[in-house]
Structure 1
Amino acid sequence: MVFGLLLVGGSAAGAWGDRAAPLPGRPGSADAAPAALSPDQAEHLVASGSDRWAAYYSAQDYADFARGLDGQYLGVGLVVDRAQDGGTVIAEVPAGSPADRAGIAAGDRLLAVDGTPVDGLPVTEVVARLRGRADGGAPAVPGSSVLLAVRRPGGPVRQLTVGRAVLAAQDVEQDQPAPGVLRISVHAFTSGVGEQVRDVLRGTPHRGVLLDLRGNSGGLLDEAAATASVFLDGGPIASYQVGGELRELTAPPGGDTATPLVVLVDGGTMSAAELLAGALQDRCRAVLVGTRTFGKGTVQQPTRLADGSVLERTVGRYYTPQGRSPDGTGLLPDVPAADPAAAERLALHVLTGLGPDPSGGR
């Protein structure tokens, strides 16, 4: 499972693919003053398990995460998934990516990366090899290449050398699951996501909106708040504690409060995504459909150590507008639906009861 972190200074988030993993880091957010702990002491603190969300990162890793915060990742442009037979299937190939230019397509099988067979390997390890980070090695750089063995169903095995490049992550996607219904799928809260959601809402005719947060492992606190503001006309979004001080997040006036809105959630909806879902639920702005969310409602603070490495520690919790903390319990949907397809059907049905039939019916 991929975990997202809600940070005082922000966090990066990603998805299954050779894009940046969901590890935290805004280099400018860590304390500039050296911390008293040594790197060995910091690693020991993390290993002790006393803080579930504590993490230790080298200076190189922490700097590398900034790319993810900007909605970018270093890779060849492959999103991979595990097939039912245990093989590795290519689920998505962004247009114009190095993999696309090499002739790789969704549905192809990925057989090996740099000569290592990938069938049976965890998806996370396949991702690490695509990104050049296998076996704890140094991160790859733009322009480095990777040798891939791929096979199209019914075709021969092809050996392709593909170069890595910095690519834009598609963290906001849209489609129309029914006439008049706009579905906005937010995969992670990276830089600019709030404005992207606003642009989609403004630029696409619709009568109802499905905001799909399933599998969203979190990301930047500010971007989750900005997304909430798209659907709220002022008022509270959340509050969080840092060092005993309670801080408030509020929406500016002018958001869309008229369009019927349903939010899809599941056990992979966590951290900043739970903050957004909780705000819309508490403000009676949306109906939540799906399953209980993950239950990660804590805030982490990064601190830079003397050698440039970074230690993150939990410093507090965040709360929904009604004072609820999802930490450890998650958020319960208003309309439970365990099966993903059933959840989508129920969400469309709920939309019809929130206002004019979004499909145009009577």
Structure 2
Amino acid sequence: MRFTTIRAAALTLALLLPASTLVAQETAPAPAEETPVPTPDQAPDQAPAEPAPGGEQPEPTPEEKAEAPRDPLEVYADLNLFGEIFDRIRAEYVDAPDEQELIRAAIQGMLTSLDPHSGYLPPADYDEMREDTSGEFGGLGIEVTMEEGIVKVVSPIDDTPAAKAGIMANDLIVAIDGVQVQGLTLDDAVAKMRGPLGTSVKITVAREGVPDPLDFELTRATIAMRAVRWSMEGDVAVLRLSRFSEQAFVGIQQAIKDIYAERKDVPPKGIILDLRNNPGGLVDQSVYVADAFLKQGAVVLTRGRVPEESARYDAQPDALDAQLSDVPLVVLINGGSASASEIVAGALQDHKRATIVGTRSFGKGSVQSIISLGPDGAMRLTTARYYTPNNRSIQALGIVPDIEIKQTVPAELQGRDEIIGEAGLAGHITVEGQEETTVGSSVYVPADKAEDNQLQYAIGLINGEETDPAYPPKAE
């Protein structure tokens, strides 16, 4: 029978429960119930509850139910219920369902019921996530944007197939492998240009001043996405870190090297680390980036349910932080700065190494582990909360800047530029006794640097044109 197979699968799933849970249930049976007798010195409100009429015990409270381990037989019964429902869907649903998708949807529902950041990653999504976090992919090396339905080259990346072939900034990509780009989304066009290493793709571009389209036959190679961009605003260095991929720290390191080379080893007057709208990424990269500006002390603390998930990550003295030790630092954050961005901002704030400017951050104070499921993809599971060096949890609260500076938001975006952040997500993890934010924080950043109030204020602080007791930060 089909149901027998499902029942066997259910039993297999039940046996995947942690052994410690099963052992605890089997070696610690509930003692026989006795009616306690109050001692003479007990006050009336301390007396044990009377049994219900008929000898029945009072119904356990929800808290007591949550704390009490479930009988394994109850778990098996629930898994059998799942099997029964799955069997009925397979047999009786109006159209024959995709059984694999049914299972994956059930797994996804189980994980997403835990919190907004746990979930199931099918194989394609897992591959995309790994590409995203590694910061590397098989492609051509072109930074692009969409302009009037045409993909426009912002710039070719140095030492990539696109740069070597002669593709130039402002070229318009009109066809990919003979397929017109008009009508495609930017994501679709980018997906067509990416692919397995060593494979070829033909790009057709229109270039201003050239009457006929140009064809380029390119071979895909490993492309490292640039995580860090830098510029000099007078004598002030601005480092924009877009996300914490595996390219984050090496990007910071290279940017500092380039800045000093351009200035003939003269330190900048100050550094602005721009983490606005940086959604986070890898925890280890956040530790490395914070360590670039710290010579010692904790960067982040993690605490999980199992000992392996609880750890302390420390900064170590090195040549980079020695080089930057006397350079003032300002960090920019806003409502889109989350996770690893908050680790860095919180560490530099607690150690009084940087002044934090902007608006309150997102408030994602949890760590997700990516657990591979082999050919079936992976699961993203929240396994720990993280805390700043001063033992602050920012979960659903965020990092509060030392100096709050708001942007001048265009009329058409007012009211739509703010998000509550983690506290606004249904099912978010709570921290007992900790307040949560109830107001929004803006994610708006003007494209024009001259109109960027937060950036201009930070530059003014470093140049002495703006003053605030929080700058420079003073160690207590």
1:313 counterpart (358, 369, 381): 381
2:223 to 167, 187, 211: 167
Any idea what the Cα deviations from partners look like across 1:153-176, whole Å, max 9, x if unmatched? 465443433221112333233332
**Would you say the 8 A contact 1:39–1:309 is kept in 2?**
no
Q: Does the 8 A contact of 2:152 with 2:172 survive in 1?
A: yes
**For residues 56 and 154 of structure 1, what CA distance do their matches in structure 2 show?**
50
Task: Indicate the residue corresponding to 1:303 in structure 2.
Answer: 371
2:146: which partner in 1?
82
- Choose the corresponding residue for 2:355, options 284, 287, 297: 287
- Larger RCO of the pair (alpha carbons < 8 Å, separation 6+): 1
- Deviation of 1:111 after TM superposition, in Å, equals 3.0
- Aligned counterpart, 1:207: 269
Higher gyration radius (CA): 2
Tell me, what secondary structure is at the counterpart of 2:107?
A: helix
Q: Distance in 1 between matches of 2:242 and 2:292?
A: 17
In terms of mean alpha carbon deviation, does 259-268 or 108-117 score higher?
Answer: 108-117
Normalised by the length of structure 1, the TM-score is 0.72
8 Å contact 1:287–1:335 — kept in the other structure? no
| Contact in 1 for aligned 2:333/2:358 (Cα 8 Å) | yes
Deviation at 1:320, TM superposition (A): 2.1
Q: CA deviation at 1:97?
A: 1.6
Query: Structure 1, residues 290-343: CA drift from partner, whole Å, max 9, x if none?
Result: 444344332112223364532111223222233444444443433324244223
Question: Is the counterpart of residue 190 in structure 1 residue 238 in structure 2?
Answer: no
* Identity within the alignment, %: 31
For residues 275 and 99 of structure 1, the distance between their equivalents in structure 2, rounded to whole angstroms, comes to 36
State how far apart, in whole Å, the 1-side matches of 2:374 and 2:273 are: 43
2:22 alignment counterpart: none
Instruction: Assess, with a 3 A threshold, how the Cα gap between structure 1 residues 200 and 44 changes in structure 2: closer, same or farther.
Output: same
How has the CA–CA distance of structure 1 residues 118 and 199 changed in structure 2, closer, same or farther, with 3 Å as cutoff?
A: closer
2:188 aligned partner: 125
Task: Determine whether 1:351 maps to 2:455.
Answer: no
Match of 2:163 in 1: 100
Q: Is 2:313 aligned against 1:249?
A: yes
Q: 1:43 to 1:146 in 2, by over 3 A?
A: farther
Q: Calculate the aligned-residue CA RMSD, in Å.
A: 3.3
Could you say which structure has the higher helix fraction? 2
Q: Which moved more, 1:341-350 or 1:318-327?
A: 318-327
Report how many aligned residue pairs link the two structures: 312
Say which SS state the counterpart of residue 222 (structure 2) adopts.
strand
CA distance in 1, matches of 2:371, 2:101: 12
TM-score (norm 2): 0.57
1:335 equivalent in structure 2: 404
User: Does the CA contact (< 8 Å) of 1:35 and 1:305 recur in 2?
Assistant: no
Could you tell me how far apart the structure 2 residues matched to 1:64 and 1:98 are?
22
Note the residue ranges of structure 1 that are not aligned, 5 or more in a row. Answer: 1-33, 132-139, 356-362
* Structure-to-structure mapping, 1:216-231, within 5 angstroms: 216-231=278-293
Deviations 1:108-146 (A, max 9, x none): 223333444444644333322222xxxxxxxx3112122
Q: After TM superposition, what 4+ stretches of structure 1 lie above 6 angstroms from structure 2?
A: 34-39
Write the distance in 1 (CA, Å) between the matches of 2:226 and 2:127. Answer: 21
2:136 and 2:375 mapped to 1: Cα distance? 27
Match of 1:152 in 2: 207
Q: Which has the higher strand share?
A: 1
Question: Structure 1 312/212 Cα, relative in aligned 2: closer, same or farther at 3 Å?
Answer: same
